[in-house]
Structure 1
Amino acid sequence: MFYSISSVIPSNPLCHRRRCVVYNGEQIRYSQAWAWQQSEVAARRENPELDDVLMLLEHPPVYTLGKGSSLGFLKFDPNRRDVELYRVERGGEVTYHCPGQLVGYPILNLQYYRKDLHWYLRQLEEVIIKVLAEYGVRGDRLPGLTGVWVEGRKVAAIGIKVSRWITMHGFAFNVCPDLEGFQRIVPCGISDKPVGSLAQFVPDIQLPTVRQQIIAAFAATFEVNPIELELPQPLSES
């Protein structure tokens, strides 16, 4: 159903940076984005020379569990039919996605960067920290934890899966979401630190602006040449 088209983009001989195709999309159901990621990863296992990808999306309300996540961090019955819940192959515990939260799914071949998962996690944090700095907001890392905090509130969660050095899943940045859905879980399994959003510190934040700032920060952090494309047809029609 999904396909990779990045191999057909003409090369730019003036640019020595690795190209990264950016799909800057709107709301997409989590199940669709998950299948899309799997398709792109499979394509790069077959052809490691394909361009890298960054999917920048929003999701309707949905909860996701990491591969080894504990159901004990849910405050609702996981068998309820009115709640979307998926267990996926990323690391980390339970998290929540909803509109107003920008989710980034980088499909990168780390053999072209650095084969170091700790480095990769810190790079993803750095993307968010750079965007926060655009607003004069300081993003912090906390020792022993993954993600980005502002004044003790977690504004960005990170969970990844890497296979044959090809990445999937990624980061979730709370720009201006309704945070109520987080009250039904113990976010990331951390009970003593609240979840926050950029809008709590910058009330007039504009989501389209933040989208472009994430793309710019991602390009600067990973030293790639971003090429924006429209969503693949099966996704854009749904």
Structure 2
Amino acid sequence: MVGFKNRFMLMEVYLDPDKDLLGEGTPVILTKLNLSEAIKDSILVNFGECGLASCLGSFHVAYVNPVTKLCIVRSSRDEHRRVWSAMTLVRSVGNCPVVFNLLDISGCIRACRDAALKCETDKFNQSGKGLSEEEIREMNRKMRTPRTLEVWKLGTVNYLKSLKLQDKLVSERKANRIPDTLLSLQHPPTYTLGKRRTDHNLLIPEAELKSIGAELHYTQRGGDITFHGPHQAILYPILSLRSIGFGARSYVEALERSMIEFSSLYGVKARAGNKCETGVWVGDRKIGAIGVRISSGITCHGLAFNIDPDMKYFEHIVPCGIADKEVTSLRRETDAQLPSEEVIHEQLVTCLAKVFSYDDVVVKEDPSAILNTLEDDD
């Protein structure tokens, strides 16, 4: 049995602007600050200084919508009844008389957030002003705790070294010692096979790979054979799916949307693959590949987007195991002038952060210290 340390209470605040206490005639606008002060004042008045002190450890107004008058209040499990009682005894916020009504109580912010989103959507629908998907996503974003994505710009990295780095970061993320992390990099010419081991889709004898300057590596990711090399934008997200509320399928779809949104910056109409076709396509030509691994809810591996790679390398494989489709690149699909690849990487990272609703992106320009701790397998 899981014992949650906190309780999250979804409250509706009823205002009476016609009974302004000071006669100033302006209805109060609910904010985290004035709600927090009103609730703490009520705790102090009704439960004394000791009661207030015992509640303050985890008390927090996590969300307020001044339009729908809904708020989410966090309190410790042991003190939530005291806080709940104090809220029912609040008589005013600022100059305006109010009444608090409990709508939902939960042991996790996600469940309380979902209840709030449903209530708010119902309110707007009842008023005849239905919410668009974008408005719902924005409300959802505001309800949760702000999330940070840490981005490591690694340049060109040997494939085996990148695997070791991912393994290390996955362990750190499982232990919650690091935030969600994104590796932005390129590889020397490398073919990789997924855990299905579809060697027959490698069309060149393995002994001849060295003659074309390429390596072959077997991995534990999903997907079929693919190529990684210079002039590709490769992103390896090390994310906690539980913390962002994604399942495996929705995670892959979000990676696809990230590349689709990025492609649109250059006037390229990309789309997600049809059934059994992961990745991103322009017509029947594949421009972005996806292969992921998820362990205990933590992701690794990720996506590869073709900026302007040497397309001859794709002639030696059946890309992603699909024999009757071509591979393309951003260079081939757009008439727009392409900026530097560093800028392109940054744009793709920005699109991914937006799709996954991260509030802040922290870029580590020189992560050489962590790379130097890994054994170089070159």
TM value normalised by structure 2:
0.57
Which residue number corresponds to residue 53 of structure 1? 181
> What whole-Å deviation, never above 9, does each CA across 1:174-210 have from its counterpart, x for those lacking one?
0111111010000000001100000002253222221
Deviation at 1:78, TM superposition (A): 2.4
2:279 match: 147
CA distance change for structure 1 residues 142 and 81 in 2, over 3 Å: closer, same or farther? closer
TM-superposed deviation, 1:79: 4.2
SS of residue in 2 equivalent to 1:173: strand
Q: CA RMSD in A?
A: 1.8
Q: Distance in 2 between matches of 1:81 and 1:193?
A: 23
TM-superposed CA distance for 1:18, in Å, is: 1.1
Q: Deviations over 1:6-58 (max 9, x none)?
A: xxxxxxxxx9421111012211111111110011001122x235201100101
**How is 1:121-132 mapped onto 2 (pairs within 5 angstroms)?**
121-132=252-263
For residues 93-132 of structure 1, the C-alpha deviation after alignment (integer angstroms, 9 at most, x for no partner) is: 1000110001100000001112411100000001101111
Q: Which residue, out of 245, 249, 269, partners 1:114?
A: 245
Residues 1:231 and 2:367 are matched in the alignment:
yes
Equivalences, count: 223
Partner of 1:205: 338
| Structure 1 stretches of 4+ moved >3 Å | none
Contact kept in structure 2, 1:100 and 1:174, CA below 8 Å: yes
Following TM superposition, by how much is the alpha carbon of 1:152 offset from its aligned partner in structure 2, in angstroms?
1.7
Q: Aligned partners of 1:158 and 1:95: how far apart in 2?
A: 9
Match of 2:303 in 1: 171
Q: Which amino acid aligns with 2:368?
A: P
Q: What one-letter code is carried by the residue in structure 2 that aligns with 1:39?
A: K
Query: Counterpart of 2:122?
Result: none
Higher helix share: 2
Which residue does 1:19 correspond to in 2? 148
Q: 1:176 touches 1:205 (CA, 8 Å); kept in 2?
A: no
Tell me if 1:91 matches 2:222. Answer: yes
Amino acid of the structure 1 residue aligned with 2:330: L
Query: Matched residues, percent identical?
Result: 34
Are residue 161 (structure 1) and residue 302 (structure 2) matched?
no
Counterpart position of 2:158:
29
The residue identity in structure 2 corresponding to 1:227 is V
Q: Is residue 218 of structure 1 aligned with residue 352 of structure 2? A: yes
Larger radius of gyration: 2
Q: Point out where structure 2 has 5 or more consecutive residues left out of the alignment.
A: 1-143
- The one-letter code matched in structure 2 to 1:190 is I
Within 2, Cα distance between the matches of 1:18 and 1:221? 13
- Per-residue deviation, 1:81: 6.2
* 1:160 partner amino acid: V
Amino acid at match of 1:226: V
1:192 aligns with 2:309: no
| SS of the residue 1:125 aligns to | helix
Whether the aligned pair in 2 keeps the contact of 1:110 and 1:167 (CA below 8 Å) is yes
* Matched-pair contact (CA < 8 Å) for 1:48–1:109: no
- What is the rounded CA distance, in whole Å, between the counterparts of 2:164 and 2:226 in structure 1? 19
User: Residue type matched to 2:223 in 1?
Assistant: G
Aligned partners of 2:194 and 2:219 also within 8 Å = yes
